[in-house]
Amino acid sequence: MLAQCQPLYRSGKVADYIPALAQVAPQQAAVAVATLDGRLHSAGAAQQSFSLQSISKIFGLVMAMNRLGDELWQRVNMEPSGQPFNSIVQLEWEQGIPRNPVINAGAIVVADVLVSHYSASKTAFLTFLRRLTAEEAIYADQQVYLSELEHGNRNAALAYLMKSFGNIEAEVPQVLEHYFHQCATAINCEQLARSLLFLANRGVQPHSNEQVCSRRDAHRVNAILSTSGMYDQSGEFAFKVGLPAKSGVGGAIVAIVPQFGVITAWSPPLNRFGNSVVAMQLIQQLADELGLSLF
């Protein structure tokens, strides 16, 4: 499968909105499948670290749900947005309430919750990820982090607009620092697949037997990923793959297969929606051949 994807590299374009991401070599790909019974299959550069980017929104969301409970849903909606991931227009219409927690505005509200409820939110985020992956060596890439900070004007606009509506509690620079730090987390396909098994398992992380979140919240996260996880290609992905999933501009996509496991794929070149061309193809093919579509 990886070999067949070779011709696809050229049809995408590595994210270039920050210099640190633009430098990543495009011709790389990996795939990993972690199952609830503890097996891990992978191929390609599955231990090569990449930037977590928007996929970090899942982890932040679970942390915020655990801290704030249902109160969170008064500050962020759970509906698909039908708008570019960083749209400011909808935020204005809906008076500072983001459509869902996986568009940027929603993830910034989530970051505000973390900053306001943890004494050291950046460390808490890394600790959470280390626990989920059972690995100590999970860090934020400092170069990416600083690069994001420097080019984060649109996210700053989103944050200040929400603050003007009273939907950001902490200071904006602090919230953005957390958000960009979280996005800059370096991870690889195998780690990522293992880390999210609890979402396929009603909230319970199989290797530790820890109840990471309630069964109800695991369903909720999957539901949100299912309608909104793939930017403005969520509908098409639902048809082609039929699984809750999230992509990041670092080139990774993670798909949750309830009662079965997690599939991750990674390759830097992105299509015009911001989704990795090769990762989409890999996940679609796997889902197809294994008959994983929920529909």
CA 169 to chain centroid: 23
30, 44 contact by CB (below 8 A): yes
Per the annotation, the verdict on 57 as an active-site residue is yes
Binding site for a second copy (CB under 8 A): 77-83, 87-90, 92-93, 99-100, 153-154, 156-161, 163-164, 172, 218-220, 222-224, 226-228, 232-236, 238-239, 242, 244, 256, 258, 293-295
Q: How far apart are CA 174 and CA 160, in angstroms?
A: 12
54 is in an annotated binding site: yes
Q: How far apart are CA 129 and CA 141, in angstroms?
A: 14
Q: How far is the CB of 116 from a second copy (least distance, A)?
A: 17
Closest CB to a second copy among residues 190, 217: 217
Annotated catalytic residue: which of 144, 147, 179, 257? 179
Per the annotation, the verdict on 163 as an active-site residue is no
Closest CB to a second copy among residues 83, 143: 83
Q: How far apart are CA 123 and CA 150, in angstroms?
A: 21
Residue that the structure tokens 């909105």 belong to? 17
150 is in an annotated binding site: no
Closest CB to a second copy among residues 122, 163: 163
Q: How far is the CB of 185 from a second copy (least distance, A)?
A: 23
Q: How far is the CB of 219 from a second copy (least distance, A)?
A: 5
275 is in an annotated binding site: no
Torsion, Cα 136 220 262 59, to 10 degrees, reads -20
Q: How far is the CB of 101 from a second copy (least distance, A)?
A: 11
As a whole number of Å, the end-to-end CA separation of the chain is 24
Annotated catalytic residue: which of 49, 54, 226, 276? 54
118 is in an annotated binding site: no
Annotated catalytic residue: which of 33, 175, 241, 249? 249
Closest CB to a second copy among residues 87, 185: 87
Please list, in sequence order, all residues whose beta carbon lies within 8 angstroms of the beta carbon of residue 48, skipping any fewer than 6 positions away: 28, 30, 188, 189, 266
Neighbours of 292 (CB within 10 A): 18
139, 115 contact by CB (below 8 A): no
E strands in the chain: 30-35, 40-44, 50-51, 186-187, 204-205, 210-211, 245-247, 252-257, 261-266
Per the annotation, the verdict on 179 as an active-site residue is yes
249 is in an annotated binding site: yes
148 is in an annotated binding site: yes
Closest CB to a second copy among residues 42, 90: 90
Q: How far is the CB of 258 from a second copy (least distance, A)?
A: 5
Residue 238 phi/psi, 5-degree rounding, is -60, -40
Q: Annotated binding site for substrate, which residues?
A: 54, 104, 148, 155, 179, 231, 249
Q: Annotated binding site, which residues?
A: 54, 104, 148, 155, 179, 231, 249
Active-site positions read 54, 57, 179, 231, 249
